[in-house]
């Protein structure tokens, strides 16, 4: 049925030949006639990108793209994240790895795919940082993170961190346990970087049971016990109330992209609020002649 088909947008700044070939090769691995593909060519300005993003959001489509221009590429990634639209840079990761392996900078000429510019290397650095700081690792360098995510086990900390790292954010994540004191660094790091993740009990029961199945363990183990989970969540909410400066984001039933967009929106608002407060204080000192 057409109305059940997933929509895929293919976006290129030229004829779209490269992205079409790559997409067709990938789609050959899946059930035929399960998708509808829409091709957008000669995408060379932000107005066109916004129009495409609007359509993708409306149709709940995923966007696969090959864009050479660094500004347009970053604009697409940034605006897609704001709208909760998933995008795939179909050549970017391959080009980055080749550039690092060959110790060469790609030409960045249309028809020769991406230039390994500063934004690409920033993403690689962010991914490496995030991997090293997963699940509470390396707390002594947590202060170098752009964001710090805290939450109970299986509240999407790692996949959310990984997703945001691919967008260039250095993310550390720290698990919370009722009977274990969290690393002291989460209280000394810049508090504007910290975000608490929470989830509804029923959703967490489902996630943990799936995890147990994956590990080949019985799904009635204590780890997924509903009463235990409810106690954990009550403790976690009480812990967050002791730190009201941390925004709390509910991940129940939300896609990673949606949660990431929410965190970025909150973070931008917090940074702007801090800047306004700093300017206000500076103005007050100036009026006092300090």
Domain positions in the chain are 2-116, 124-278
Q: How far apart are CA 39 and CA 14, in angstroms?
A: 11
Q: Give me the pLDDT at residue 1, please.
A: 40
* CB-facing half-sphere around the CA of 18: CA atoms within 13 A: 19
pTM (2 d.p.): 0.61
| Mean per-residue pLDDT over the chain, rounded | 85
Average pLDDT for 65-84: 87
Average pLDDT for 192-217: 90
Q: Which CATH architecture has domain 2-116?
A: 3-Layer(aba) Sandwich (3.40)
> H helices within 92-225, ranges in order?
92-102, 118-132, 157-165, 185-188, 201-214
Average pLDDT for 175-196: 95
> What's the distance, Cα to Cα, between the start and end of the chain in Å?
71
Q: CATH for 124-278?
A: 3.40.50
Q: Give me the pLDDT at residue 290, please.
A: 66
Q: Give me the pLDDT at residue 58, please.
A: 92
pLDDT tens digits, 277-287? 888 888 887 77
Q: How far apart are CA 172 and CA 194, in angstroms?
A: 9
Q: Give me the pLDDT at residue 92, please.
A: 66
Q: Which residue has the higher pLDDT, 39 or 100?
A: 39
Q: Which residues contact 125 (CB under 8 A, 6 or more apart)?
A: 170
Comparing 183-187, 199-203, 209-213, the range with the smallest average pLDDT is 209-213
Q: Give me the pLDDT at residue 212, please.
A: 87
Confidence of residue 96 (pLDDT cuts 50, 70, 90): low
pLDDT at 155 > cutoff 60 = yes
């Amino acid at each position: 049925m057409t109305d059940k088909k997933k929509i895929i947008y293919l976006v290129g700044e030229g004829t779209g030949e490269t992205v079409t070939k790559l997409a067709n090769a990938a789609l050959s691995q899946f059930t035929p006639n399960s998708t509808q593909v829409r091709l957008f060519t000669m995408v060379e300005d932000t107005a066109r990108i916004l129009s495409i993003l609007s359509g993708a959001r409306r149709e709940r489509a995923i966007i696969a793209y090959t864009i050479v221009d660094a500004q347009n590429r970053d604009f697409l990634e940034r605006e897609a994240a704001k709208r909760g639209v998933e995008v795939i840079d179909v050549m970017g990761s391959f080009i980055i790895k080749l550039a690092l392996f060959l110790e060469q900078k790609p030409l960045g000429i249309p028809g020769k795919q991406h230039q390994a510019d500063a934004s690409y290397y920033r993403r690689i650095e962010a991914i490496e940082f995030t991997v090293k700081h997963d699940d509470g690792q390396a707390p002594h360098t947590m202060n170098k993170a752009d964001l710090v995510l805290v939450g109970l086990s299986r509240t999407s900390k790692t996949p959310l961190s990984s997703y945001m790292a691919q967008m260039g954010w250095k993310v550390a994540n720290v698990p919370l346990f009722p009977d274990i004191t969290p690393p002291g660094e989460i209280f000394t790091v810049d508090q504007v970087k910290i975000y608490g993740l929470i989830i509804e009990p029923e959703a967490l029961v489902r996630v943990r049971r799936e995890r147990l199945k994956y590990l080949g363990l019985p799904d009635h183990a204590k780890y997924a016990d509903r009463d235990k989970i409810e106690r954990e969540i009550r403790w976690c909410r009480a812990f967050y109330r002791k730190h009201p400066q941390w925004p709390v984001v509910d991940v129940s039933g939300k896609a990673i992209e949606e949660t990431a967009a929410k965190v970025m929106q909150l973070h931008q608002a917090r940074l702007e609020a801090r800047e306004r407060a700093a300017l206000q204080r500076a103005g007050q000192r100036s009026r006092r002649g300090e």
